[in-house]
Amino acid sequence: MTGSEKADDATDEVAGAEGPDLIVAYLEMLAAERGAAANTLAAYRRDLDHYLAALAASGRDPLDTDAGEVRAYLADLETQGLKAASAARRLSCLRGFHKFLYAEGLAETDPSAPVGGPRRGRTLPKVLSVAEVDDLLRTARERAVAPQAENATGGERRRAVRMLCLLETLYATGLRVSELVALPRSAATTKQRYLVVKGKGGRERLVPLTDLARAAMREHLTHLTGDGPFLFPSDSESGHLTRQAFARDLKIAAAAAGIREDRVSPHVLRHAFASHLLQNGADLRIVQELLGHADISTTQIYTHVLDERLKSMVRDLHPLMDDPAESGTAPV
């Protein structure tokens, strides 16, 4: 059988597939052609399972539905209290799915194309101040040393050293939490002052390492046993520290630093990394590269932190902002 015949057979197989099989075909395409991460694929599967169940309840086939049905589904989500940002993400998933079905010749039209997205207000990210991050890091350093007391266990010492390493590395690099917890053990022994990180879609980028982060990594490495592949090993299914476990321990560290637990998460520290760079004059394009954003529009949410700096720059540098009394000139 030729390659062309195999491809035709594969297309015929998908064409005769039920709803769940269509989802599998779509997710396989995302993984193979776009390098979608496992978390992304799992989220898309949940969204599409929910969507196809709604279509089935209405007696509609995903290969033969219309824009009105898609709009009705989104409207029903709104009545269920789904936030605009979540509804927009759900619509993006549906559009990709229907576009795939249309491109493969499985459906005659793309019913999601004429459907407009929900109105989304501009949500500013939670950000800790520089002073608050300093407090968090200082407390983590103190806790990494304090467990040497006689009543402390070796496990407490190791967890404190690990938390300091996580915090120093996250604030130094702005990594996504999924990238951070899955760092290889070799990251702690590199002689380079940067890490090569593979982010969403398999895109690689360079992120800098501060001396404090490198020192924290080396100290953490001395407390590891075995020779596993991860810098933050765990008994979890993945073999490394989970995002949920880090988020839980981070809230404990925040409370110890006198910061409300609801104001702190791994993603908030990523926001702090970006916002503090911009406050100190970093170029938005550079921050985009460091964060691993494919589109600069994603990074532009951080521009709210530039408002005060821009006002100060105009006030200090614009020639017409001088005080007439001080400059010796009078208004005309």
SS3 assignment, position 162: helix
pLDDT at 322: 55
pTM of the predicted structure, to 2 decimals:
0.62
Question: Which one, of 7, 5, 10, 22, lies nearest residue 99 by Cα?
Answer: 22
Where in the chain is CATH 1.10.443.10?
130-313
Q: CATH class for domain 130-313?
A: mainly alpha
Name the CATH topology of 3-103.
DNA polymerase; domain 1 (1.10.150)
The pLDDT value given to residue 305: 58
What ranges in the chain are assigned the alpha helix state H? Answer: 3-15, 19-34, 38-57, 67-79, 84-103, 130-145, 154-173, 177-181, 211-221, 243-256, 266-279, 284-291, 296-299, 307-317, 324-327
Q: What span, in angstroms and rounded, lies between the C-alpha atoms of 224 and 218?
A: 10
203 is catalytic: no
Q: What phi, psi does 206 have (nearest 5°)?
A: -100, 135
Catalytic residue among 95, 251, 267, 304: 267
Set 158, 200, 205, 251: catalytic member: 200
pLDDT at 2: 40
Nearest to 277 by CA among 266, 290, 265: 290
> Which of 143, 157, 162, 176 is flagged as catalytic?
176
Is 126 a known active-site residue? no
pLDDT at 85: 77
Does 102 qualify as catalytic in the annotation?
no
DSSP state of 127: -
Note the pLDDT of residue 284: 84
Residue 234: its pLDDT value, please?
93
Q: Which of 157, 270, 271, 276 is catalytic?
A: 270
Q: What is the mean pLDDT of each run of 10 residues along the chain (332 residues)?
A: 39 53 92 87 93 91 91 87 82 93 92 79 69 96 74 80 96 94 93 87 87 95 90 93 95 94 92 88 86 79 61 62 47 38
Asked about 271 being catalytic, the answer comes back as no
Instruction: Give start-end residues of each CATH 1.10.150 domain in the chain.
Output: 3-103
